[in-house]
Structure 1
Amino acid sequence: MSITMHDVARVAGVSIKTVSNVINDYPYIRAETRQRVLDAIDSLGYRPNLSARGLRSGRTGVISLIIPDLRNAYFAELADSVMRAAATKNLSVIIEQSGDDRETELALLRGPRMQMVDGILYSVLALGEDDAHLLDDIRTPMVLLGERIFHGPTDHVTMRNTEGARAATEHLLSLGRRRIVALGAHRGEVIGSAGLRLTGYAEALAEAGIPVDDALIGEVGGWFRSGGAQAMKLLLDSGVPFDGVVAFNDSIALGAMRILQEAGLRIPDDVAVIGFDDIDETRYTLPTLSTINPGRDEIARVAVDYLVERISNPEAEIPPREYLAGFTVVQRESTTIVAP
């Protein structure tokens, strides 16, 4: 027989209403009473009926995370960070992939599944600043992630792309590198991650009195290892000299490093390489990869906090907030020459 709320109330010696209040995290309950109910739940193995609970409260205890592609290691690790942050709020997470497709993003935002969640974390990629008005009619509480829409109708939580890329470039400049490749550019992009990181790269060079050389800007389509490898092959075939690489994400850097090593170039002796995102794999490559830690856990925590606040206060007039997480330069073997 399934365990019911009546069974929990009987074992804990409290009313069914008290059990319900504990399950729904009602704040005004004595600590001793709350613990007694939790102990009863644990000993009986009781699992609340979330469907019934949702019908009563109007909430499901579920939020949606819309990201471009789980094959991109950053988004996979962001999803993990969001799930851990949501768990501290007793929320479950449904992950949706947009595939960097405008119509898919809009369909996900307006589709029936979004009516089944309490809130949405939306990592914008295909939509842009001019599309911000399309979000106005989304009634489900929402927090935006990423860089494509800065002035939308709701909160926006993201990383310091320009500052991080500038710091990565400054790191290579501090090592005496002067012919530095920017790997991962998207032609004509200004607002997205690629455009912002290219701006940071250019700012660091300008500060050092070094003009930007278009021959050192490597365009990459998808930010995957394959894209980094292909771009590096083209760069080597061109014969343009360089002694450093600022890759706009770690996957690009890892693909490029493979091609550099196949060409007989030593990292970092001949070419120093730094990435961006601090994905887990960078700690175990050979050499380990220097990178920018963009504050992924901080982004997830703040985004979930903002979303929970909007979910809990549906009638409140909360003005849109913008939050930029902190970042750090993580120096590893790919930029560190060990003296013999």
Structure 2
Amino acid sequence: MEIGVTSFVETKPDIETGIVMSHAQRLREVVEEIVLADRVGLDVFGIGEHHREDYAASSPAIVLSAAASLTKRIRLTSAVTVLSSSDPVRVFQDFAMLDGISNGRAEIIAGRGSFVESFPLFGYGLHDYDELFNENIELLMKIRESEKVTWKGGHRPAIHNLGVYPRPVQNSLPIWIGSGGTQSSAVRAGLLGLPLMLAIIGGNPMNFAPLVELYKKAAARAGHDVSQLQVGSHSIGFVAEDTERAADIFFPSTQYGMNKLGKERGWSYYDRSSYDAARSFEGALYVGDPETVAQKIIHLRKHVGITRFMMYVPLSTMPHELVLRAIELLGTEVAPRVREEIAKWEAEKE
């Protein structure tokens, strides 16, 4: 069971002062967060790609490379790379370089993205949303498999027996499929035999269990070894020494972020009752003291089949020292509890 952190490197206004920090400051802060996550024993840190004013990381590989030489063991991944509007050759090259700098710790989580700003920015049409992703994941996997590539698609120039360099340290650079929870994306990941990262950010996480089963059935149908497949959860959360303190600290920024996004997407108003329901044991917010958060993660592992849990923190802008403390508690208090309990559970099943 792997435990890690996801960040979109947000730069929304401070809830109390209204001040918006610079992109440069937030980028430096997130490098500190990655270094701390490594030091406290977390397994993975993911950076999301965005092309909006309120997010600072347009290129996850650059941010992760800044932290690569400052860390020793933590795996470094995008979360996600918006593959539909990216050149797969350049994506592979960027992460192969990250893999070299980190000595074999790079990963890619490829997705279609929940925002669409990158499409007009890079000259792609939204009517090709799905087709672009299908072509690009095919090419990305082909580059991973072979140093020399011959490929032809409908949206980029063909490649005729050309080498793609540099090559990564890892024999097979890990590529995950990021999904918002649609059946089609789960089936696609299963048929390709790729690990699946689910954005479990609302509702009851137990409702994702049938989706995981669908993913595994698709993988088995395609001839892949289901026992080797990983399933991850990207879930919003926050850890403090006391559950009520954690809830009170995390609510203002979460409410701001949810309602800002909700205005764009037509969601209902997010208030404290919505928040408290989501942080209940059956909800999708992992907010509380270390024991509370650990038990929710353990429940997710046992009943949904998640093998990697990534906590998205912070949502919106929070004081940096509180974010660092949450990461520290996740690594030193939550992760050991989860690993110990899951190890016992696995042993009992055998």
Q: Which has the higher contact order (CA 8 A, sep 6+)?
A: 2
TM-score, structure 2 as length reference: 0.28
TM-score, structure 1 as length reference: 0.28
